């Protein structure tokens, strides 16, 4: 069964790419990587997804997760809940170079 090496979701046979991470699936789940690191937080999911798309276009797999525990990403309230963009530790610097500067406030 193919797995996404990034979000570790398993997919039905025949699936080649993870629709969430836009990365090639592997047959075997790799050893666990350290947790993805939050590189940016946006006021809502659409805005976070917009920037996530930019990172993916640059070849950086990333996850968009709700900043509020229990809020489901993609649900109705996701447009009103802050969302994090998270990347692998190895990609943090590249991601930060592409993302808007972090608001110190």
- Give me the residues that bind Zn ion (CB under 5 A), please: 4, 6-7, 18, 20-21
Distance CA 83, CA 64 (A): 6
Task: Indicate the residue among 21 and 52 with the shorter CB distance to Zn ion.
Answer: 21
Considering beta carbons, is residue 17 or 68 the nearer one to Zn ion? 17
Q: Which residue is listed with tokens 């997760």?
A: 65
CB of 68 to Zn ion, least distance (A): 22
Sign of the alpha-carbon torsion through 37, 42, 47, 50: negative
CB of 90 to Zn ion, least distance (A): 16
Q: Which conformational region is residue 77 in: left (phi greater than 0), alpha (psi within -120 to 50 degrees), or beta? A: alpha
Rounded Cα–Cα distance for residues 79 and 74 (Å): 8
Q: How far is the CB of 101 from Zn ion (least distance, A)?
A: 27
Is 19 or 100 the residue whose CB approaches Zn ion more closely?
19
Nearest residue (CB) to Zn ion, 6 versus 51: 6
**For residue 25, how many C-alpha atoms fall within 13 Å in the half-sphere facing its CB?**
18
The least CB distance from residue 19 to Zn ion, in Å, is 8
């Amino acid at each position: 069964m193919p797995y996404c090496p990034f979000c570790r979701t398993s997919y039905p046979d025949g699936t080649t790419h993870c629709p969430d991470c836009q990365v090639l699936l592997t047959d075997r789940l790799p050893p666990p990587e350290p947790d993805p690191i939050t590189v940016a937080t946006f006021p809502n999911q659409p805005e976070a997804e917009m920037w996530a798309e930019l990172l993916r276009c640059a070849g950086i797999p990333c996850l968009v997760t709700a900043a509020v525990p229990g809020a489901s990403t993609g649900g109705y309230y996701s447009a009103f809940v802050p969302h994090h963009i998270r990347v692998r530790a190895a990609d943090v610097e590249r991601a930060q170079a592409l993302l808007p500067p972090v608001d110190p406030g």
